[in-house]
Amino acid sequence: MASFITFEGIEGCGKTTQLKLLAGLLEKHGHQVVTTREPGGCPIADKVRTILLDAENRAMVPLAELLLYAAARAQHVAEIVRPALTAGKIVLCDRFTDATMAYQGFGRGLDPETIATLNRLAIGQLWPELTILLDCPVEIGLSRAIARIDNSQGAREERFELEARQFHQRVRDGYLQLAAQEPARFVRIDGGQDVQQVASAISSAVLARIGQGNR
């Protein structure tokens, strides 16, 4: 049964870890699962990701940032997300349109109507049926994110981590406002808990929506 589930939250909230844990659980229950991320998820969008997250590009203006996200999303949806859903698979996506509203809208101060218009152009009628918001204090999230980057052997994707604390607080506040506006779609989970506690809360919320599968 096709299902589109997104994971959202500030830097270091634990999205990527929890998405992988959920994917493993769903596969054990007999579901076909595709895991993906934004920005990125396919070769063209991954190239845009490199531009967006490279700290050397801190001079990028907010509008250029917004347009790059929209371009990457359009390619990602057409190449990965929509075909997987058409094939009846569950798609778990690390960030989606809510991230653009939180980061470029609440964080950067860009016009929300402009963001909504670009999102609609990029995705058409495709919307997540469930969004897991992993919420945690900015200090906790940033400390985790910086530690992860410092321990990484790959490219230092840290352009957003280098933003001021006030920026990240606006993003967190924005996510909480988005969740309050759509309580039927969002499930807020305390991302400051132990990894297994968070995983248990997420699995309960997701299995309640999509069922146990065919195990």
Read off the pLDDT of residues 135-162 as tens digits, 9 standing for 90 and up: 999 998 888 888 887 877 767 778 888 8
Mean pLDDT within 173-181: 98
The CATH number assigned to the domain holding 145 equals: 3.40.50.300
118 lies in some domain: yes
Instruction: Please tell me the predicted confidence (pLDDT) of residue 213.
Output: 53
In whole angstroms, what is the distance from residue 41 CA to residue 124 CA? 18
What residue spans of 14-111 are helical by DSSP H? 15-28, 43-53, 62-76, 82-86, 97-100
Which residues on neighbouring strands pair with residue 133, listed in sequence order? 8, 188
Check pLDDT > 90 for residue 1: no
Q: Give the other-Cβ count within 10 Å of 185's Cβ.
A: 16
Instruction: Tell me whether residue 52 is in a domain.
Output: yes
> Which residue from 171, 165, 169, 173 is spatially nearest to 146, judged by alpha carbons?
165
Q: Within a domain: residue 215?
A: no
Q: Domain limits at 54?
A: 3-210
Query: What mean pLDDT is reported for the chain?
Result: 94
Closest C-alpha to 60, from 185, 135, 163, 168: 163
Domain count, the chain: 1
d(CA 85, CA 77): 10
Does residue 148 lie within any of the structural domains? yes
- Taking each helix axis from N to C end, the angle separating 138-151 and 165-181, rounded to the nearest 10 degrees, works out to 120
pTM beyond 0.85: yes
Residue 212's pLDDT is what?
A: 58
Work out the burial of residue 14: count CB atoms within 10 Å of its CB; fewer than 13 is exposed, 13-18 middle, 19 or more buried: buried
Mean local confidence (pLDDT), 50-56? 95
pLDDT score of 52 more than 70 = yes
| Residue 43, Cβ density class (10 Å: 0-12 exposed, 13-18 middle, ≥19 buried) | exposed
